[in-house]
Amino acid sequence: IQEKLSALKENTYNTVNSLLTELALDRAAKVDAKIANGDTIGLLEGIPFGIKDVYMLQGTYATASSDLLKNYKSAYTATAIQKLLDAGAIPVVKENCDSFGHGSSSENTIFGAVKNATNPELVGGGSSGGSAVNVAKDYTVFSIGGDTGGSVRQPAGYNNVYGLKPTYGRISRYGLMAYASSTDCVGPIAKSAEDIRIVLNAMSGKDTKDQTTYPSEAIKQESILNTASIKTVGYFKNFVENEAIDASIKTDFLMSIEKIKSKGIQVKELDFFKSDILVSTYYTLAMAETASNLSRLDGTNYGDRIDDKDLKESYAITRSEKFSEETKRRIVGGNQVLSQGFSDEIYLKGLALRDAISENFEKDFNEVDIILSPVTPNTPPKIGDSLKAPLTMYLSDAYTVGFSLGQLPTLTVPQGTETGLQVTAAKNNDELVLKFANFLK
C-alpha cells in the first residue's frame, strides 16, 4: 500500500485528485494484523484500488474534478464503494477525470489533463482517464470508473486495459454523482477479465437506495473459462464501412474478425443506426439529464459559493464562474432541448429513438450471442486538440454511446493496439462478455 501511495504521489500523468493516505494505511494495518493472527484473508482483502472522483467516500474529497466542488467532502459512502470496503479492499486514491463525466479526454478538469499511459503527449481518454491510466501503470490493481456513454470503455481502450460497463442496474448508483441517470453505470477497470469478474461480483446487487437495481447471481470463475457456448458473433457493417474510421482501427478490427472466424465462430454482418444518429440521440438525452441533475449545484448545499447582494444573482455567478465551459455548454444545451417549443421536436424524438435502438438490439440478440465493435473510430488525440473541437470529441463517442442507450453489458478487451475491442451481449448477460474476453486470449 505504501508503495502504491508513493508511486501515485510521484506520478507525472495527472491521475491523482487526492490521496487517501491515512485511510489506506489504517486499513492496511488491520489486514496485516489479521495475517499476523493467522486469520483467513478474502480475495479482495488488502487490494489497493482507485476511485474516480465522482463517488462518495465518507470524509474524503469528492470534487468531480470541478472548481465548484473542489473543497467538497463526501457526507456518506456510495453503495458500490461500501461493498468493496466490506470485502476488505483498500482505497488509495480519488482519481482525475472529466468534470462531472463531461468529456472523452480527461482534459475538462481543474487538476490538469490526464496523460496517456503509453504516450504522454496523447490524452488519457475520458471521462475515467485517471482510473484507466492508474491501472495501466500499476498504480492501482483496479479502479472504479463511471460510464455514461463510454467513459470506462474508451479510456480502457486508449490505455490497453480491460474496462466494463455492466448492464444498467446491476450495480447501485447510490453515491455516484449523477450525470445522465438513465445511462450512468458503475464500471470496473482492471488488467484481466478475471479481476473484472471479482470486482463486479463484489459490487453487484439490489440496493433499496437505487430503485433501478436488480438482484443478480455471482458470476463463477469456471463459467467464464468455459468458452464453448459462444457460436455466433455479429458486427455493424456501417461502423466499419461508412464512418470516419481511422484506417489502422479498421484494419485491426477486421483482423480480429478474421481471427474469430478461423476459430470456428460464425460471423454475421448486422445493420444499425448511423453513428451520427447515435451521437445526437445520446447527447440530446445526456445533456437534458445533466442540466436537470446539476441544477442542485448552486452553491447552497454543496460546494463553494460566490456571494452577491441578491440571492438569485449569487446562484448565477457561482454557476457561471465555477462550472467549466464544457459543463456549461451541456447545461445550456440540455435546458434548450427540454424547453417549451423544443422538447417535442428534440427531447421526445430522442426518447423515441432510444426505444428504437433498444428494439434493434433485441432483434440482433435473437441472431447473435455477441456484438463486436471497435471502441472508438479514432486513435487517442494529442492533448489540447479535443478542447478546441468539442463536436469532433462528441463524434469520437460514436461506437460506445449506442450500447449505453441500450443499457447493455459491454467490455473493452485490450488488443495491444491503440484502442481495443468492444464486446457486447444482451441485457443481464455480463457473464458472456467476460467469457468472450477469455475466448479472445
Nearer to ligand GLN, 270 or 383 (CB): 383
Peptide bond into 127 cis (omega under 30): yes
Nearer to ligand GLN, 107 or 364 (CB): 107
Per annotation, catalytic residue among 105, 127, 216, 256: 127
What's the closest the beta carbon of residue 311 comes to ligand GLN, in angstroms? 31
Q: What secondary structure letter does DSSP report for 101?
A: G
Distance, in Å, from the CA atom of 217 to the CA atom of 337, rounded to the nearest integer, reads: 39
Distances (CA, A) of 418 to 32, 158, 252, 298, 384: 39, 6, 10, 40, 19
Cell digits of residue 316: 448565477
Q: Of residues 50, 103, 333, 402, which one binds ligand GLN by CB under 6 A?
A: 103
Stretch that binds ligand GLN, among 99-107, 230-238, 333-341, 353-361 (CB under 6 A): 99-107
Nearer to ligand GLN, 92 or 97 (CB): 97
Per CB under 6 A, contacts with ligand GLN among 387-416 are: 397
What's the closest the beta carbon of residue 141 comes to ligand GLN, in angstroms? 23
**Which residues share a beta bridge with 374?**
421
Nearer to ligand GLN, 127 or 131 (CB): 127
Q: Of residues 82, 143, 151, 216, which one binds ligand GLN by CB under 6 A?
A: 151
Q: Name residue, grid cell 463511471.
A: 146
| Contact assessment for residue 91 and residue 49, using Cβ atoms and an 8 Å cutoff | yes
Q: Of residues 52, 102, 115, 319, which one binds ligand GLN by CB under 6 A?
A: 102
Q: Of residues 147, 243, 289, 298, which one binds ligand GLN by CB under 6 A?
A: 147
What's the closest the beta carbon of residue 203 comes to ligand GLN, in angstroms? 17
What's the closest the beta carbon of residue 189 comes to ligand GLN, in angstroms? 13
Per CB under 6 A, contacts with ligand GLN among 277-296 are: 286
What's the closest the beta carbon of residue 100 comes to ligand GLN, in angstroms? 8
Cell digits of residue 57: 467516500
Would you say the C-alpha torsion 410, 180, 170, 350 has a positive or negative sign? Answer: negative
- The site map against ligand GLN for 176-195 (x = CB under 6 A) is ---x----------------
Per CB under 6 A, contacts with ligand GLN among 338-397 are: 397
Nearer to ligand GLN, 99 or 216 (CB): 99
Q: Are strands 16-19 and 90-95 parallel, antiparallel or unpaired?
A: antiparallel
| Contact assessment for residue 437 and residue 413, using Cβ atoms and an 8 Å cutoff | yes
Per annotation, catalytic residue among 104, 151, 396, 404: 151
Nearer to ligand GLN, 149 or 175 (CB): 149
Of 117, 101, 216, the C-alpha closest to 168 is 216
Stretch that binds ligand GLN, among 95-103, 251-259, 312-320, 340-348 (CB under 6 A): 95-103
Nearer to ligand GLN, 89 or 286 (CB): 286
Distance, in Å, from the CA atom of 75 to the CA atom of 132, rounded to the nearest integer, reads: 26
Of 230, 236, 255, 337, the C-alpha closest to 292 is 337
Residue 50 engages ligand GLN in binding (rule: CB under 6 A): no
CA angle 352–292–168, rounded 5-degree value: 55
127 part of the active site: yes
Residue 148 engages ligand GLN in binding (rule: CB under 6 A): yes
Nearer to ligand GLN, 233 or 383 (CB): 383
Task: Determine the distance from the C-alpha atom of residue 126 to the mean position of all C-alpha atoms in its chain, rounded to a whole number.
Answer: 8
DSSP result, 204-254: BS-BTTBTT----PPPPHHHHH--TT--EEEEEHHHHHTS---HHHHHHHH
Count the residues of the shown chain that bind ligand GLN, applying the rule CB under 6 A. 14
What's the closest the beta carbon of residue 180 comes to ligand GLN, in angstroms? 7
| Contact assessment for residue 16 and residue 50, using Cβ atoms and an 8 Å cutoff | no
52 part of the active site: yes
295 part of the active site: no
Distance, in Å, from the CA atom of 418 to the CA atom of 134, rounded to the nearest integer, reads: 17
**What is the total residue count of the chain?**
441
Distance, in Å, from the CA atom of 337 to the CA atom of 302, rounded to the nearest integer, reads: 26
Cell digits of residue 90: 483498500
Residue 48 engages ligand GLN in binding (rule: CB under 6 A): no
Q: Which residues are catalytic?
A: 52, 127, 151
- Which residues here bind ligand GLN, judged by CB under 6 A? 101-104, 127, 146-151, 179, 286, 397
